[in-house]
Structure 1
Amino acid sequence: TTQYQTAILRPPHLVTIVPAMASDDYHDGWTYEGGALDLSFAEDWPMSTLAASAVRGRYPDGAAIVAELNQAIKDEFTKWYRYLPLTDFPPLRPSDPRVAPYFFDWLKHPNDDSYWTRWSIRGHYGDVTVPALEFDGWYDIFINGALNNFMGMRSEGGSGVARAGTQLVVGPWVHIPWSQTVGQINFGAQAANPIDQLQLNWFDYWLKGIHNGTNKQPRVRIFLMGADRWLAANTWPLPRTRYVKYYLHSGGGANSVRGNGLLSVIKSAGAATDHYTYNPRHPVPSIGGRFQSSVPGGPYDQRPVLGRRDVLVFTTAPQRHSLAVIGPITVTLYASSSAKDTDWTAKLDDVYPDGTSMLIEYGIQRARYRNSETHPTLIQPRRVYKYTIHVWPTANLFKVGHRIRLEVSSSNFPMYDRNPNTGDPFAQDAKLEIAKQTIYHDRAHPSEMTLPIAPQ
C-alpha cells in the first residue's frame, strides 16, 4: 500500500512498483470489514510487531514493555481477545502514547471518515503512471484490496503503460509464507512460491530493459484451488463469468449440520423461517481463513463448529458436474433481530464426499452499517431488513461429488470483534446482551448466495 502512496506522488525516477499483498484502503478490508473490527489483526499486529519496535531500545523501560507484550500475545486466547471495553485494552497501554496510540485512534473511528480516506488508494489510480506487478493469496487479509488495485490500475491508471502493463498474480497462499501447503491442504508443486523469480523477471524487464517476455505474460494469473492449477486471463473478473443465485431453503430447522437447510438454484416457495440465539459470551470460533496472525490461516475443516445451534447450515446436493467458482461472492439475507445492532456472518465451504467441510471464504455485515460505512443507523428490533454480506473473492473448483455449503451466523471470533448487541457507541461496551435472530427465505424474502461461475 505504501508503494501506491509513493507512486501517487509521481517521483520522477520511479519506473515500476511491485505491491506485495497490498490493500486499497486502511479502513475497509484492513482494520474493519463490513463495519466490524478485524479484531485479531488489529490487536495482534501492534502487540507482535509495531508496539515492540516502537519502544525496544528507545526507552529505559522498553525491554520491560516488550516482555509484557510478549506475555500478552501468549495470553490472547485465554484472556485478551475477550477483554472489554476495547478502549481500555491494557496490553497496548491506552494512557502511554509511546506504545500504540494509533490503535486507540482506530477505535475512535469505526466509520469510514476523513481519518481513513486521507490515506486511501481508491480514487487515486489516475495519479499512478507506472505499471504494477500486484500479487497476493486467496487466504490473505488484503486480497480484496489487491484485486481492487488491479482493477483500478487497469481501468484508471494515469498512463497507457500503467493501464496496459499492470499484472496480477494470486496463489492459494496466506499472507506469508507462500508455500504449497496452506492450512490443511497441500496444493502441490504448482503452488510453490514463484514470486521471487517473477519479481526478478519483472525488474529485469522494466529496470534493465531485458526482453524476457514479461510484457507478453497474461495480465491475470490466478491459482484455481480444487483443480490445483494456474489459470490465465487478461481481465478480472474473468470473462464470460455467470452470476448464479443459490437460494436458502429449510423446514425451519437449519440449525447445525444435522438440520434441514438446503441450497438450491430454485427459489423458495415455502414460508419457513430459521431462528437461532446469538450469545456474544459464546461466539463461533474462527477456524482458519484469511491470515489473522494468531489464528492459523488458510483452508481448514469447519466441522468443529457445524454442530452448534447458532450456526445455520445450507448445503447443495452433490455436484453432478464440476463447478468453477471464480470471483466475488455476495450473500443476501433477509433477517430480523431482537437487538438494536448485531452482526451477520457468512462462510462458503467446499464439502468433500467424506464430510470434510473445507473453508473457502467468508464475510460479515454489521447491522448499523447495512446502508453506509460513513453514516451508521441502528435497526428496529424485530423488523425485517435486507443485508448484503460481501464474501471476498476466491477461485475454487467444486468437483463432481462435492457439495456447496453456506454457513450463516452472527460471529466469527476472534477474526472479528463480537457485537455486544447493545447498540451503544463502538468499543465502549463492557456489557454483552443476547440477541434472538431470524432468517427469512420465502417468496417475499429470497435470501440467497450469488456465486460467480466461470467457464471451464
Structure 2
Amino acid sequence: DGWMGDDWFHYGAFRLANIAWLGSQTGYKGAGKAPPTGGYDDYDNFREVGSAGDWAKKSGYDQLPYWQRMVSHPAYDGFWQGQALDKLLAANPSNVPTIWEQGLWDQEDMYGAITAWEALKAKGKMGNNHLVMGPWRHSQINREGRELGPFKWDGDTALQFREQMILPLFNQYLKDGPAANLPPVAIYNTGENHWDRLSTWPLACQQGCAAPLKPIYLGANGSLGFDAAARGGDSYVSDPAKPVPHLPRPVNFNDGRWGDWLVSDQRGVDGRPDVLTYQTPVLTEAVRVSGAPIADLFARTTGTDADFIVKVIDVAPAENATDAKMGGYQLAISQDIFRGRYRESFAKPSAIPANKVQEYRFRLPTVNHVFQPGHRIMVQVQSSQFPLYDRNPQTYVPNIFLAKKEDYRPATITVERGGASASRVWLPVVPVDQSAIAAR
C-alpha cells in the first residue's frame, strides 16, 4: 500500500527519499545524469528549497506524470485505495500458493506483505499462504543475511530462507516434488536470535488472539511502565526550520547508510529538546513482544497540523564486555510516523484544533522480540524525521506538497500523561518461551 506504509507515504507523510528514485525510473532512465541536488548534506538541500513540491519543481520532476498524480492525491482517496493489495485480495482472494516475505527492518516496504497475508487469513486462506519475516533490510533475502548493521544473526538467515522455505515450495508446486511442509508462519526472534516457527500470527492483538495487547504508559520524568501514570504532560517545540534528522548529519541518500538505517543507534537524537524519551528501569525479567504495537498518543499543539513519530526501542546495558561500542545501544525494533491531519479520516484530512487534546492512534510495524534482563524498554516521541519524510508546516494547508515557505511555523506540542488522556503504547506482550531460554 503505497500510501499507508510502503514506498511513497507512511500514514500520509511523504517520503522524500524516493523522489530521485522516481526520476531514475520514469525520467532519464539511466540515459543521463540525475539532476543536481546541491551540497553533500541532503538535510540542507531539501530544507532550504521548501516543500516537496518546491523540490520537484526545482529538479524538473514536476514534469513526470506519476509525480503529478501523487500531488493530485495527497490523501487516501480512491487512487490509493484502488491499488492497495490487501484490499484487492480481500475482495478477490488468491488461491495461488504464496510465501509473503518481509524484512523486519525493511526500510522501503514495511507494510504490504503482512497486511496482504492478514487479508487472506481473514478469508480463511492460510492453508497455502505462508508468512515469513526475517531480520532483514529491503531485498536482503537476495543477499547474505548474516548481519544487519552491527547485529549478527544465527548464520545466513537469507540463505536459510531460500534453502529451507522457498526452494521446497518451488519443488512441490513447480516440479511435483514432496510436500514442502512449511509452517504457516516463520518469524525471526530478534531478541533471542533464532527462527520461530508458528501456527498463527500475531500472538497478541486487540482481539481474537490468545493474548491481548498490554499498555505501557508514558510517565513523569521520562519514566515508562505498565502501571498507569499520574496526570501531567511533557512539551517540546517542533520547529520546521530545525527538524530532527533521521540519521546523524550530514545525511546523503547515497552515503551507504540507507540499507540499514532502521537499526541505527537512536542515541543520535536522544537528549534533543524536541524529542521526548521515556524508559523503564533495568529489566529483571525478560519481556517478549510478538505482534504489532499500537501507538496511542493524546497530545495538543499550538499549531493546526502536526506529525508524530513513535519508536519502541531496546536499550542495551551500558557496558558490553565483547564490543564496547554496543554498550547502551538504542535499537528501534518498531517505529513509524503519523500525519495528524488524518487522525479522524485518512481520506478526508482536517485541521487540528489548536490547544485542544486530540488522540492519535496508529499501528506500528510488526515485532517478534525479547527484551532481555539487564536491558530497558524505551519509547521516543518526536514530530519530524527529516529528510526521510517531508516536513509538516504545522499550519494546516489543503495540500502539503504545495505549502509555501511562510506556512512553516514552530509549534509547541504537549504529550499528555495519565487519567483519561494517558498516552501509551499497546505492546503485544506474550509469555517468554522457556524452552528457548533453556536451549540458549
TM-score band, normalised by the shorter chain? 0.7 to 0.9
How far residue 176 of structure 1 moved from its aligned partner, in angstroms, is 2.9
Check 1:264–1:163 CA distance in 2 against 1; reply closer, same or farther (3 A cut).
Answer: closer
How far residue 137 of structure 1 moved from its aligned partner, in angstroms, is 0.5
How far residue 81 of structure 1 moved from its aligned partner, in angstroms, is 6.2
How far residue 136 of structure 1 moved from its aligned partner, in angstroms, is 1.2
Match of 2:324 in 1: none
Match of 2:67 in 1: 103
Match of 2:127 in 1: 164
Match of 2:321 in 1: none
- Structure 2 counterpart of 1:136, which letter? Q
Among 391, 415, 418, the alignment partner of 1:442 is 418
Question: Residue deviations 1:263-291, cap 9 Å, x none?
Answer: 1111113x321110000111111139xxx
Runs of 4+ off more than 4 Å: 70-75
- Structure 2 counterpart of 1:248, which letter? L
Q: How does 1:360-439 map to 2 (within 5 A)?
A: 360-425=333-398, 426-431=400-405, 432-439=408-415
d(CA) in 2 for partners of 1:391, 1:227:
21
Match of 2:211 in 1: 241
How far residue 38 of structure 1 moved from its aligned partner, in angstroms, is 2.2
| Alignment of 1:116 onto 2:80 | yes
d(CA) in 1 for partners of 2:78, 2:103:
29
How far residue 72 of structure 1 moved from its aligned partner, in angstroms, is 6.7
Instruction: Return 395-404 or 171-180, whichever deviates more.
Output: 171-180
Q: Is the 8 A contact 2:138 2:259 kept in 1?
A: no
Aligned residues: 399
d(CA) in 1 for partners of 2:157, 2:109:
19
Q: How does 1:244-393 map to 2 (within 5 A)?
A: 244-250=214-220, 260-269=221-230, 271-287=231-247, 295-297=258-260, 298-354=262-318, 355-393=328-366
Query: Which structure has more RCO (C-alpha within 8 Å, separation ≥ 6)?
Result: 2
Instruction: Return 124-133 or 186-195, whichever deviates more.
Output: 186-195
How far residue 300 of structure 1 moved from its aligned partner, in angstroms, is 1.6
Check 1:356–1:192 CA distance in 2 against 1; reply closer, same or farther (3 A cut).
Answer: same
Check 1:201–1:87 CA distance in 2 against 1; reply closer, same or farther (3 A cut).
Answer: same
Q: Is the 8 A contact 1:47 1:73 kept in 2?
A: no
d(CA) in 2 for partners of 1:362, 1:302:
11
Question: Residue deviations 1:314-373, cap 9 Å, x none?
Answer: 101111111111110111111100001111111111011112211211112211100111
Match of 1:451 in 2: 427
- Structure 2 counterpart of 1:411, which letter? S
Question: Secondary structure of 2:197's partner?
Answer: strand
Instruction: Return 324-333 or 147-156, whichever deviates more.
Output: 147-156
d(CA) in 2 for partners of 1:277, 1:312:
11
Instruction: Return 239-248 or 340-349, whichever deviates more.
Output: 239-248
TM-score normalised over the length of structure 1: 0.82
How far residue 95 of structure 1 moved from its aligned partner, in angstroms, is 5.4
Question: Secondary structure of 1:164's partner?
Answer: coil
- Structure 1 counterpart of 2:332, which letter? L
How far residue 404 of structure 1 moved from its aligned partner, in angstroms, is 0.3
Question: Residue deviations 1:356-409, cap 9 Å, x none?
Answer: 211211112211100111011111110111111322111111001110000011
Question: Residue deviations 1:127-179, cap 9 Å, x none?
Answer: 4121211111001132322111112223326xxxx541111111010003342
Check 1:341–1:399 CA distance in 2 against 1; reply closer, same or farther (3 A cut).
Answer: same
Q: Percent of counterpart pairs with the same letter? A: 28
Q: Is the 8 A contact 1:168 1:221 kept in 2?
A: yes
d(CA) in 1 for partners of 2:225, 2:430:
18
Q: Is the 8 A contact 2:218 2:225 kept in 1?
A: yes
How far residue 91 of structure 1 moved from its aligned partner, in angstroms, is 6.1
d(CA) in 2 for partners of 1:402, 1:171:
22
Question: Secondary structure of 1:375's partner?
Answer: coil
How far residue 79 of structure 1 moved from its aligned partner, in angstroms, is 1.3
| Alignment of 1:206 onto 2:173 | yes
Q: Is the 8 A contact 1:52 1:69 kept in 2?
A: no
How far residue 226 of structure 1 moved from its aligned partner, in angstroms, is 1.7
Match of 1:253 in 2: none
d(CA) in 2 for partners of 1:71, 1:422:
27
Instruction: Return 276-285 or 140-149, whichever deviates more.
Output: 140-149
Match of 2:147 in 1: 181
Let me know the Cα RMSD of the aligned residues. Answer: 2.3
| Alignment of 1:38 onto 2:15 | yes
Among 116, 120, 127, the alignment partner of 1:153 is 120
Gaps of 5+ in 2: 204-208, 319-327, 434-440
Q: Is the 8 A contact 1:69 1:91 kept in 2?
A: no
d(CA) in 1 for partners of 2:346, 2:191:
35
Q: Is the 8 A contact 2:133 2:188 kept in 1?
A: yes
- Structure 1 counterpart of 2:77, which letter? D
Q: Is the 8 A contact 2:186 2:197 kept in 1?
A: yes
Question: Secondary structure of 1:189's partner?
Answer: coil
| Alignment of 1:142 onto 2:109 | yes
How far residue 185 of structure 1 moved from its aligned partner, in angstroms, is 1.3
Match of 1:28 in 2: 4
Check 1:128–1:82 CA distance in 2 against 1; reply closer, same or farther (3 A cut).
Answer: farther
Gaps of 5+ in 1: 1-24, 57-62, 251-259
Check 1:153–1:389 CA distance in 2 against 1; reply closer, same or farther (3 A cut).
Answer: closer
d(CA) in 2 for partners of 1:52, 1:202:
39
Check 1:327–1:83 CA distance in 2 against 1; reply closer, same or farther (3 A cut).
Answer: farther
Instruction: Return 376-385 or 412-421, whichever deviates more.
Output: 412-421
Q: Is the 8 A contact 1:346 1:389 kept in 2?
A: no
Q: Is the 8 A contact 1:190 1:229 kept in 2?
A: no
- Structure 2 counterpart of 1:68, which letter? A
d(CA) in 2 for partners of 1:189, 1:304:
29
